[in-house]
Structure 1
Amino acid sequence: MEEALAEEFETHRGHLRAVAYRMLGSTAEAEDAVQEAWLRLARAGAGGVANLAGWLTTVVGRICLDMLRSRRTRREEPLETHVPDPVVTDPAEVAALADSVGLALMVVLETLKPPERLAFVLHDLFGVPFEEIAPIVGKSPAAATQLASRARRRVRGAARPDVGLAAQREVVDAFLAASRAGDFEALVAVLDPDVVLRVDAGTASKLVRGARDVASQALLFARGAGAVARPVVVNGQAGLVATVAERPVAVFCPTVRGGRFVEVDIVADPDRVAALVGPGQ
């Protein structure tokens, strides 16, 4: 009986992982949430559950909400610059891109209050009715609707690409070529004047605004790191993984609009990157 239940759970694992990742912005915590959902299902059984996928989705939502609240309690101060875990895939693997959520959107989700994030993610991204969301957040369906509405207003400001993957790659390649050549003006040319750079390197994180300042940072990195960049897809967008001595040390994810970078998100904690980027990525 448990074996059959486990097999059925596995058919939902990918969906549950997607829900948890969008809720938590951490691939490791998302896996933990999915595993906890399995443990709860194994204890409770599926008897009387008419819609197992819906039941599991709400269970994962509850688990993630508790994790988000616990995370906020543990932090004495908010992180100055935090970039969620990137999802890195090979450029040839495009089948799942339609389901991708850009890293810039994930950054905005990180700024939401936990109930707002849950209401938005479950309803707007996964179609869960507010009647099912309401008991998770301990509010009425009308109040849950308002939570999602507030989140939606914030999320509208998230940068999204206005061109496809191939056109994004052209801009990324131009940026990379200018960095390698040390061509400051060519770098500035592929950056929006109001571009925002977020670098999450753990204890050495930074936020940089403006094309010339971001170009200066890019040249400093290109000169000092001795890194080799290889093309990847990051959360469905054209990006790069930087490696030093074949070890991945940074994931680079720009958002392209109007033929320029409007935002650049970088995870540059080598230990974190090594855990996120598997062999061959």
Structure 2
Amino acid sequence: MSTSSEPQQDRSERGLSAIAGERRRLINLAYRLLGSLSEAEDAVQETYARWYALSRQQQEAIESPGAWLTTVAGRICLDVLGSARVRRERYVGAWIPEPLPDRTEWISGRAGGGRAEPADPADQVTLNESVNMAFLVVLESMTPAERVAFILHDVFRYPFAEVAEIVGRTPAACRQLASSARQRIRAAQAPAVPMTGQAGLVRQFKAAWEAKDIETLVDLLDPDATMTADGGGLVGTVLRPVEGSERIAEYLIHIAGKAPGLTLLERTVNGRPGLVAQHAGVTVTVAAFSLADGRITRIWAIRNPEKLRPWNGEGSEDSRPGNEPLPTSHGES
């Protein structure tokens, strides 16, 4: 025999399930806004804390909980970006966005050193063009308002009227912010390189590095190539970018000589072919690449162990967004 409370309870349970189901999308959004998975998780956690702090009546009065969560998460990320700019000015050496492994590699156990199960947050962020390292680095050059307006509108397709509510500007001002951000992206964009070509070039680079073949390394690098490393002051690394193919090649050979027992592995880094360096089965460096005209133009080497936790199987189990597709073209509606 049913009771009158059961339909209401069912609706409540369905509502809670729908709210929890938003976590995947919010993590995808927050990572793009912040460039840090740990900060993205914190922002989403705070978003949910604010939702559950509302009374039942307040929650039921919200017409679209998903839109409410997005608005709150967007505003939290905007505040985090403002404070992050100050923190990153004090950061030891260069700050590079957190690298992400490919979800399928985590599932097969490759990224985590042989683990059979995917470790959170491996499948938390859809790996498409809006999370490749070159794209995220350009986002770092934007103002917080530019970044939020651009990501919300151009990547997640929110209309400017909704973006304006989150950013606290007029729709016209948000349109201008997104346009300015779009120009930065276009100015920094390198010609597209087929994925197979990228993988082949990275494979040649790996082989030359392992063989300590400095001439081949120089040939694979653009003459004006730049290598930037991020150790966060927690591990030893160069504090300033290394510029020029010869200097980069010499530095890489020097590192190879100082780190016996280092294993190089081909891995997908933020959706692109990259390299992972492991020592005794522990990931110590993740390298992302930018390529153009058949050569490597940029190398980002992340060595900060706090940013390599997902690569070593560390992470929480409470939020595992899947791999839903996100649009990557940049409209102006």
| Gapped regions of structure 2 (runs ≥ 5) | 1-8, 108-122, 315-333
Mapped contact 1:20–1:60 kept (Cα < 8 A): yes
Aligned residue number for residue 137 of structure 1: 167
230-239 or 162-171: bigger deviation? 162-171
User: Secondary structure of 2:241's match?
Assistant: strand
Cα offset, 1:85, TM superposition: 0.3
Question: What amino acid sits opposite 1:217 in the alignment?
Answer: Y
Aligned residue number for residue 48 of structure 1: 61
Cα offset, 1:180, TM superposition: 1.3
Cα offset, 1:278, TM superposition: 3.1
Cα offset, 1:256, TM superposition: 2.2
Aligned residue number for residue 29 of structure 1: 39
Q: Which has the larger radius of gyration?
A: 2
Cα offset, 1:93, TM superposition: 7.0
What is the root-mean-square deviation in Å for CA atoms of aligned residues?
2.5
User: Secondary structure of 1:229's match?
Assistant: strand
For residues 167-197 of structure 1, what are the alpha-carbon distances to aligned partners after superposition, in whole Å with 9 as ceiling and x for unaligned? 2111111001111111111001111122121
Question: What amino acid sits opposite 1:31 in the alignment?
Answer: E
Aligned residue number for residue 84 of structure 1: 97
Mapped contact 1:159–1:255 kept (Cα < 8 A): no
1:206 to 234, 240, 245: 240
Aligned residue number for residue 117 of structure 1: 147
The list of structure 1 runs, each at least 4 consecutive aligned residues, that deviate by more than 6 angstroms after superposition, is: none
User: Secondary structure of 1:202's match?
Assistant: coil
Correspondence 1:185-196 to 2 at 5 A: 185-196=215-226
Cα offset, 1:72, TM superposition: 3.0
2:284 to 249, 254, 257: 249
For residues 216-264 of structure 1, what are the alpha-carbon distances to aligned partners after superposition, in whole Å with 9 as ceiling and x for unaligned? 1221222222210112111100011111111110001112222211111
Cα offset, 1:166, TM superposition: 2.6
Distance in 2 between the 1:19 and 1:131 partners? 18
Aligned residues: 279
Question: What amino acid sits opposite 1:55 in the alignment?
Answer: W
**Alignment partner of 1:158 is 2:171:** no
Distance in 2 between the 1:175 and 1:161 partners? 20
Change (3 A) 1:3 1:37: farther
**Alignment partner of 1:14 is 2:24:** yes
| TM-score between both structures, scaled by the size of structure 1 | 0.89
Mapped contact 1:247–1:274 kept (Cα < 8 A): no
Distance in 1 between the 2:270 and 2:202 partners? 15
Aligned residue number for residue 313 of structure 2: 279
Higher relative contact order (CA 8 A, sep 6+): 2
Change (3 A) 1:159 1:177: farther
| Gapped regions of structure 1 (runs ≥ 5) | none
**Alignment partner of 1:173 is 2:173:** no
Aligned residue number for residue 49 of structure 2: 39
For residues 121-147 of structure 1, what are the alpha-carbon distances to aligned partners after superposition, in whole Å with 9 as ceiling and x for unaligned? 111111111111223222211111111
